[in-house]
Amino acid sequence: MKTNGGRRRIRAFGGSRLARRWRRMAQKKYLQAKLTQFLREDRIQLWKPPYTDENKKVGLALKDLAKKYSDKLECCENEVEKIIEEIRCKAVERGTGNEHYRATGIAAIEVFLPPRVKKDRKNLLETRLHVTGRELRSKIAETFGFQENYIKIVINKKQLQLGKTLEEQGVTHNVKAMVLELKQSEEDVRKNSQVEEEEQNEAKQKEKRIQRTKRGLEILAERAEMVVDPETTPYLDIANQTGRSIRIPPSERKALMLAMGYHEKGRAFLKRKEYGIALPCLLDADKYFCECCRELLDTVDNYAVLQLDIVWGYFRLGQLECLDDAEKRLNTAQRCLNNCYGENHQRLVHIKGNCGKEKVLFLRLYLLQGIRHYHSGNGEEAYEYLNKACQLFKELYIDPSKVHSLMQLGFSAQEARLGLRACDGNVDHAAAHITNRREKLDQIRKEEKEKKRRRLENINYLKGMGYSARAAKQALHQASGNLEEALQILLSHPQMWWLNDAGPETNSPQESPSRETIDQLVYMGFDAAAAEAALRVFRGNVQLAAQTLAHNGGSLPPDLQLSAEDSSATPPTSPSDSAGTSSASTDEDMETEAVNEILEDIPEHEEDYLDSTLEDEEIIIAEYLSYVESIKSAAKRN
């Protein structure tokens, strides 16, 4: 490939016995997809005569069909006949399975095993659909020799839920299931028991990491809903491309936090090439993103990037051809990117002044589209997308000496790559761009820090008046941070006082206000009965009771009057009723560990997802272009 720096050697997939074997496998997959396409176009039903006789054996007409298609594809007739026979046998097997399912209710599931399994990676497993996900996982583990607790199953684009039945999860006859193995082991029986024990410990640690990821993200998302001091307590915040915090509706904020958190953790595993652990995190991120409104997903690029990462995970696990939703995810990614960046990236250029960095996403999109088309038997479309990826690679390739020059100026390698792509490879412009970005981010961080400090002060002020942190936070959110407006909201809606931090079980009114507090309100001019009722509602808080009575003409609003009437039947809560806290210290340590593990994988640079050396993409582009270009050269042999 040509680059700005002239011609350079491309690391391609070729010249070794392993490379030749992979090439043959890729060509066979392409032929299978192409022949399947021809059979559909010609409406050939291989499981019926004249291609299959009454004993389900191959018919003589299959040879004529192989001759026709081998001429059309300019391929070896024997090879084409062999592949068509494989397709026919599978069709017959599928028909037999359909009859068996109708007669017995026993469904067949096509199980795709991890790449390390040398036996046929596509296997049929029979099961009834009323069994639970846990029972199916156990059966898969037993049948194919896995350890049950160290595999995850993906069906219908989602992780299999262990506690629900297959029917409840929409699993049907002839569905495809992908096995992800957390335990990285060899397929042969281990002779050394110590090695096997180490592998089991490694698998346990990986499972624990997944569980810690889940808990850590839940804690950080919960903290976003609480009032915490940003100087002392880590939490997650959502910011736009400039680094400024975004106001998200409370109903969607937690789901979005979890979605983005799982995505970042999944990306961290992808970087470490731990694809089997990355994919469950990415699928969890997709689940939470789907709880957000469609308008939000169409206006940010996060969801598009997630779709690309999921399909990349499929590909790196060798499972791209077996998952039906790869095409759908890539189309979703392209639609979201177009909506977010605008046609020809004009919206992106208007916001950021350039689009060089974001082109990395389109390179991966075109590469994955090319791979998908290749495995679908669409050679021309595959070449078109792979060529587009190749052209983008030439455009985005960065001379290592330029990166080194910027690093000599004190910039990181990541900053250098992003800056050079933003400035079309100009070192001086890139240095100015990075410096300007740093200054802007420093200013934004100071402003955001001050905004958070003021918000915390306002919440504490309202808490000092007797409102709960949750009520104060909600009022400030509705008032866009304005303290006076938030106070008016709270006064106009006294029922917000019931938004208690500790939960609904502690929201019952006080049983009996003191004579002294009642006298204080009577002295202010309020009726004694109204004063007592208000103090019951507000648990003896004189200030809140007085403000509410004054705001409502000396009496409680109707909804709070009911609460006051019911208060006499509410027994006081004894401290002894609370749960024990003997293990609080241990739980706190575990939570700290889980949170720190998440924070370690949250990148400092907000454009980390746009940074790539493109080393993997370079190899794969060359590899698949060689497959496509060699299709016709695989002329008739034998």
Q: What is the pLDDT of residue 5?
A: 37
For residues 142-157, average pLDDT: 87
How does DSSP assign 130-183, residue by residue? Answer: TSBHHHHHHHHHHHHT--GGGEEEEETTEEPPTTSBTTTTT--TT-EEEEEESS
Chain segment 23-50, per-residue pLDDT in tens: 677 778 888 888 999 999 999 999 999 9
Q: Which of 49-53, 153-157, 267-271 has the lowest mean pLDDT?
A: 153-157
Please give the Cα distance from 69 to 77 (Å, whole number).
8
Q: What is the pLDDT of residue 621?
A: 95
Closest CA to 465 of 445, 491, 435, 427: 491
Q: Does residue 634 have a pLDDT over 50?
A: yes
- Inter-axis angle of helices 359-375 and 615-629, to 10 degrees? 30
How many CB atoms neighbour CB 593 within 10 A? Answer: 12
Task: State both tokens at 203.
Answer: 């698998």
Please give the Cα distance from 169 to 150 (Å, whole number).
21
Q: Does residue 238 have a pLDDT over 70?
A: no
Q: What is the pLDDT of residue 150?
A: 83
For residues 136-164, average pLDDT: 89
Specify the length of the chain in residues: 638
Angle, vertex CA 450, rays to CA 444 and CA 454, nearest 5: 145
Please report how many Cα atoms fall inside a 13 Å half-sphere around the Cα of residue 399, on the Cβ side.
Answer: 14
What is the average pLDDT value for the chain, to the nearest integer? Answer: 78
Checking 281-284 for CB contacts under 8 A at 24+ apart, the result is: 281/210, 281/213, 282/306, 282/309, 282/310, 282/313, 283/154, 283/157, 283/158, 283/159, 283/310, 284/159, 284/214, 284/258
pLDDT interval class at 189 (50, 70, 90): very low
**Higher-confidence residue: 196 or 371?**
371
Q: What is the pLDDT of residue 113?
A: 87
pLDDT interval class at 164 (50, 70, 90): very high
Q: What is the pLDDT of residue 440?
A: 87
Q: Which of 67-81, 269-283, 492-506 has the lowest mean pLDDT?
A: 492-506
pTM over 0.85: no
Q: What is the pLDDT of residue 249?
A: 66
Q: What is the pLDDT of residue 514?
A: 85
Cβ–Cβ < 8 Å for 555, 568: no
pLDDT interval class at 192 (50, 70, 90): very low
Angle, vertex CA 525, rays to CA 519 and CA 530, nearest 5: 70
**Higher-confidence residue: 546 or 24?**
546
For residues 160-180, average pLDDT: 91
Q: Does residue 242 have a pLDDT over 80?
A: no
Closest CA to 310 of 266, 359, 371, 256: 266
Q: What is the pLDDT of residue 188?
A: 39
Task: State both tokens at 387.
Answer: 């060529």
Q: Which of 11-15, 122-126, 307-311 has the lowest mean pLDDT?
A: 11-15
Residue holding tokens 């272009």? 625
Cβ–Cβ < 8 Å for 595, 219: yes
Q: What is the pLDDT of residue 632?
A: 55
Instruction: Give the sign of the dihedral formed by CA 591, CA 265, CA 170, CA 141.
Output: negative
Q: Does residue 427 have a pLDDT over 90?
A: yes
Chain segment 327-357, per-residue pLDDT in tens: 899 999 999 888 888 777 767 666 666 677 8
What residues contact 100, with CB distance under 8 A and at least 6 apart?
106, 108
**Higher-confidence residue: 529 or 584?**
529
For residues 410-434, average pLDDT: 93
Q: Most confidently modeled of 206-215, 384-393, 505-514, 608-617? A: 384-393
Cβ–Cβ < 8 Å for 526, 549: yes
Chain segment 265-281, per-residue pLDDT in tens: 899 999 988 888 899 88
Residue 127, strand partner residues: 107
**Higher-confidence residue: 633 or 9?**
633
Q: What is the pLDDT of residue 119?
A: 57
Q: Which of 75-89, 224-238, 387-401, 572-586 has the lowest mean pLDDT?
A: 572-586
Please give the Cα distance from 148 to 139 (Å, whole number).
9
How does DSSP assign 520-540, residue by residue? Answer: HHHHTT--HHHHHHHHHHTTT
Task: State both tokens at 389.
Answer: 């990826």
pLDDT interval class at 638 (50, 70, 90): very low
Q: What is Dmax (Cα atoms) for the chain? A: 108
Q: What is the pLDDT of residue 43?
A: 93
- Inter-axis angle of helices 469-478 and 483-492, to 10 degrees? 110
Cβ–Cβ < 8 Å for 538, 549: no
As a whole-number percent, the residues of the chain with pLDDT over 70 amount to: 71
How many CB atoms neighbour CB 155 within 10 A? Answer: 21
Q: Does residue 447 have a pLDDT over 50?
A: yes
Q: What is the pLDDT of residue 13?
A: 39
Nearest 10 degrees: Cα torsion 350, 352, 357, 362: -40
pLDDT interval class at 136 (50, 70, 90): very high
Please give the Cα distance from 148 to 415 (Å, whole number).
44
Write the CA distances from 500 to 74, 466, 472, 485, 632, integer angstroms: 75, 11, 10, 20, 71
For residues 582-609, average pLDDT: 65
For residues 561-582, average pLDDT: 46
What residues contact 358, with CB distance under 8 A and at least 6 apart?
301, 341, 345, 348, 610
- Position 533, amino acid: A
